[in-house]
Structure 1
Amino acid sequence: MASEIHMPGPMCLIENINEQLMINQEALKILSAITQPVVVVAIVGLYRTGKSYLMNKLAGKKHGFSVGSTVQSHTKGIWMWCMPHPEKSNLTLVLLDTEGLGDVEKVDKKNDTQVFALAMLLSSIFVYNTMNKIDQEAIDLLHKVTELTNLLRERSSSDLDEVADSADFVSSFPDLVWTLRDFFLELEIDEQVITADEYLENSLRPKQGTDQTVQNFNLPRLCIQKFFPMKKCFIFELPSHRKKLAQLETLRDDELDPEFVQQVAEFCSYIFSHSKIKALPGDIKVNGPRLESLMLTYVNAINSGDLPCMENAVLALAQIENSAAVQKAIAHYDQQMGQKVQLPTETLQELLDLHRATEREAIEVFMKSSFKDVDRKFQKDLVTQLEAKQEDFCKQNLQASWDRCSALLQGIFGPLEEEVNQGIYSKPGGYRLYIQKMERLKKNYYQEPRKGIQRHA
């Protein structure tokens, strides 16, 4: 059961080996066992900015995701921790901690963007962790990856406006939670106190004007506003004296700044209460196997140099799930017909009625498990297979009837043939006795049950 997924700690989901993304097969086995809908929380940001600390708090643990204490980037690839949702029953919480962006040891900075985009594609809540304040560099980076997910198009269109305006498309995009660490500014505009959310909205507000400078300023903001209609901002004070930050995960709450402790608690409470199930266009809820399929499609696309496309991911998922739905329906048909049908049936109509009733059941089984069966392609394939099974049953029924009748005829009339060969009826009055015996044997034959459609042949 999905509710029994209790990972004692996180596991590497996607390894980043020589800046090539590799999926961990053991982690896939865990995902494939999650039958419940999943809430996927992914965090992305510069390395050494405390991402793993926040994810451990969401997991309700002091330790788990690796929290480094040096200038070296610690987390590599994407790490996963699955657990029952702490506040909502029948949901599984999947936490994804990503390696830090901007690692000076990396040769190819494109790899940063790939990890960033993959986390965005897989998540239903996307936590963007930055330092100190919202600046142009952070906005540009988020815009770059968000634009990269015009990659993430629901249909094969290069028109960003057309895609982004689709309510269906936006509904499958994650909610954005922007976290600002070691925040030092006063939350004020024009000497008016503002909230963290108002600070975020103001930072993303486009300017009036039509010149190129204004357009360049507005483009990333308009894109982010479009893709992330649901946005939330949290600010975090410096957790403790800087000398103690290297041991942050070992410090008790009473050793931390009370403001920071309260801010972390509010962050976790918001994530849990506003949990959004990962969904695909059409409000298709994602469970473990579907998340696994999406990840395989995206990673393969990234590694091959293609842009991961939502359309391709959904098509791949539909292929897998609908093929499985067809097999499930066929298995149901075979099981039910095996239980209901005793060959030979007395009439062809009896067999056809059983087939049609079981065919309806099989199609219902398929419909419950199918997923975006465009043009009813897979349902038509199912019906074709069921028609072939009906034809096969009819042939089996005919043969079973033939075999049954042949065996009865041999058993009932075989002794009469022996008597004829012995000349028992080659005497005066023998013909009358033969006719009487023949009529009696015919009566016996017709009284035998379940001879089927060949009984008069």
Structure 2
Amino acid sequence: MSGGPPPMPAPVCLIENTDQGLQTVESALNLLRSIQQPVVVVAVVGLYRTGKSYLMNRLAQQQSGFALGSTIESKTKGIWMWCVPHPMKKGHTLVLLDTEGLGDVDKGDEKNDAWIFCLAVLLSSTLVYNSRGTIDNQAIEKLHYVTELTDQIQVKSAGASEQDDDEMAEECEFVRFFPSFVWAVRDFTLERKINGRNVSDDEYLNFALQLKNGLSPKVMTYNLPRQCIRSFFPTRKCFTFPFPTAANNMSHLDSMAEADLDPDFRNVADSFCTHIFTESRVKTVQGGHKVTGSRFSHLVKIYVDTINSGKVPCLENAVVAMAEIENQSAVDEGFRLYVQGMENLKKNFPVDLESLSAEHQRASALATQEFLKRSFKDTEGKYMTQLQENVAKLYDQLINDNMDASEKLCRKLLSDLYAPMAGNIQQGIYAKPGGYEIYCRDRDAMVAKYRQDGKKGMKGEEMLEGFLQERSAEANSIMKADEKLTEADKQRAEAREQAAVQEQQAKVAAQRQKDLQRALEDEKRNQEERLRRMEEKMEEEKCLQREELDRALESKQKEWQEMMQKGFRDKVEIMSQEIEHLKKEKEKEADPGFFKKYLMPAAEVGKEKMQNSIIGSEESRPLQR
């Protein structure tokens, strides 16, 4: 499908882990830039040698691809990427990210591990945490990276208001932007029973994430990673996998046929893949904006560059930076379409203003449509204005070019048609009694032939007016020398000459007014359509913001109810404040004045400039003789 991922027979490295730090791989970014479809991004993290890569191969619906390895050495370094057509969502791309194992003894760099985990959270729409054995306290303690996210991720920029800088407000908004959380427990051998009752995988996870009452340092240490998982991630899901095969076959897992794997393992793996395919959402950024492969490439580079600079990645800054890149690209692509649309007409210059205006409206509408499709978060209409200014500037030039072509053609046409008359003058054909009548007959015939030519363009009548004015002295000279005419005849003829010139001037003015009126009416319709599309775009973005906040509120309210039932009054109070904060955010995002404040003025700028192009070129351009 157009805009989808190019064929990828195997994964590629997206982020290298080098001695100089984390580095993006340009060839992988270029691959992402070619993808214009929305992306569903699934990242897997976990301790090294826990079978993360096998799960990603299953999601890619391939037996091999991501390196599995058969020794205690970690095979995945940095972050590797595999882009495949989404198996269930037409027009979407599934981006699979396999991260290097956490806690690799050869690496021995806890800070590096923390940034790998942080990037997996920032980049994914679903985060899969892969572990072995059981979800006990030791397993959760190994997930300590989640407790460090508040120090590694900033929601709003440093210039935000004091209220927005409040730590509680920051942390409660993580749930708006963080991915869904899936815990995959590998080689699980225990019975899932709580108090003698069989429980589901999800109940098992929720039991493991239960908090303890109390404020002692020991209790707070116990609660912290659990509270972070519960508070930061909008949804939680668990899958417990039995051993896939006998221990002596584990090193050959990537080459084993499906039929040779344990049936229970296959069932869980199938359920896991189905859940990821059906429930994983499109990657979004702050404001609910959907991320395409192209946008995702910018996001990857922005976050990695920020980490390498020693700064903390900021969600708001990343979106602003990404929007600037994408919106400028949207302007360039929209303008390219406009130029392309006008090129064919330019080859046929000169044309009348009606044809030029009609083609301009069509190409301008395509440019606006393409811009709105690609752009997002153009909060003050800056980039829409830039596009309209570029279009207006080129249209102004095209009008001038069209007039130049019209003037050149008309001058040649008039010169060619007048040539026989010029020859007659040299031969003295009109310098005899009755010569003026012959001259007038020849001139009228010449004007008739000129008007019969249908490809004179915008300057046709104006150039004829100039020609008649230039020839008026010549006509008067021939008339006065004609001995056949009486003085009364000459006076009447002179009056007719003046009337003819004035009639042509009136015709030029009427045609100009008609052309202007038609062009401005066309532009008005184009403007109304542009405003309608812009309003639809703004409403679409508002809808995405509401969906983002609704998901966050739903998650927080569900957590609040559970805390109420468990008697965690202190946490209930904090969560009530968080819920109120999110509700206020929702009210603020619903402000209807944004469209009138920013986008309508932006569109009006385009309209004004377009009108100035037409009027300025038609009325202010001096007639070239």
TM-score range with shorter-chain normalisation? 0.7 to 0.9
1:150 alignment counterpart? 153
Separation in 2, partners of 1:364, 1:254 = 51
1:324 aligns with 2:325: no
1:37 alignment counterpart? 38
Runs of 4+ in 1 over 6 A off after TM superposition: none
Alignment match of 2:308 (pick from 292, 303, 325): 303
Which segment drifts farther, 431-440 or 73-82? 431-440
Alignment match of 1:293 (pick from 295, 298, 315): 298
Q: TM-score, normalised by structure 2?
A: 0.65
SS in 1 for 2:212: coil
Return closer, same or farther for 1:433/1:148 CA change in 2, 3 Å cut-off: same
Query: Any gaps of 5 or more consecutive residues in structure 2?
Result: 467-625
Q: TM-score, normalised by structure 1?
A: 0.86
- Counterpart of 1:329, as a letter, is G
- Counterpart of 2:387, as a letter, is L
Return closer, same or farther for 1:319/1:100 CA change in 2, 3 Å cut-off: same
Per-residue displacement from partner, 1:13-33 (whole Å, max 9, x unpaired)?
Answer: 222121522233333343334
2:235 alignment counterpart? 230
1:162 alignment counterpart? 169
Which segment drifts farther, 191-200 or 96-105? 191-200
SS in 2 for 1:375: coil
Larger radius of gyration: 2
Which segment drifts farther, 261-270 or 224-233? 261-270
Alignment match of 2:398 (pick from 385, 393, 402): 393
Displacement, 1:118?
A: 1.4
1:284 aligns with 2:289: yes
Displacement, 1:215?
A: 4.7
- Counterpart of 1:137, as a letter, is E
1:81 alignment counterpart? 82
Displacement, 1:4?
A: 7.0
Identity of aligned residues (%): 42
1:314 alignment counterpart? 319
Query: Any gaps of 5 or more consecutive residues in structure 1?
Result: none
Displacement, 1:8?
A: 2.5
Displacement, 1:152?
A: 5.2
Per-residue displacement from partner, 1:260-293 (whole Å, max 9, x unpaired)?
Answer: 4443343233323323222233433333222222
Displacement, 1:428?
A: 4.5
Instruction: Verify the 8 A CA contact 2:42 2:124 in the aligned structure 1.
Output: yes
Displacement, 1:431?
A: 4.5
Return closer, same or farther for 1:106/1:425 CA change in 2, 3 Å cut-off: same
Alignment match of 2:278 (pick from 266, 273, 280): 273
Instruction: Verify the 8 A CA contact 1:170 1:228 in the aligned structure 2.
Output: yes
2:113 alignment counterpart? 112
Per-residue displacement from partner, 1:49-98 (whole Å, max 9, x unpaired)?
Answer: 22122223333344322222323222111122232334444333222211
Report which of the two has the higher share of helix: 2
- Counterpart of 1:45, as a letter, is G
Separation in 2, partners of 1:336, 1:27 = 33
Per-residue displacement from partner, 1:397-454 (whole Å, max 9, x unpaired)?
Answer: 3322321221122112233234323444444444454444344434443444343333
Superposed counterparts of 1:40-439, under 5 Å: 40-134=41-135, 135=137, 136-144=140-148, 146-148=149-151, 150-151=153-154, 153=156, 158-166=165-173, 170-183=175-188, 185-210=190-215, 214-240=219-245, 242-251=247-256, 259-339=264-344, 342-346=348-352, 348=353, 351-352=356-357, 354-356=359-361, 358-439=363-444
- Counterpart of 2:142, as a letter, is A
SS in 2 for 1:237: coil
Return closer, same or farther for 1:354/1:184 CA change in 2, 3 Å cut-off: closer
Displacement, 1:99?
A: 0.9
Aligned residue pairs, count:
453
1:13 alignment counterpart? 14
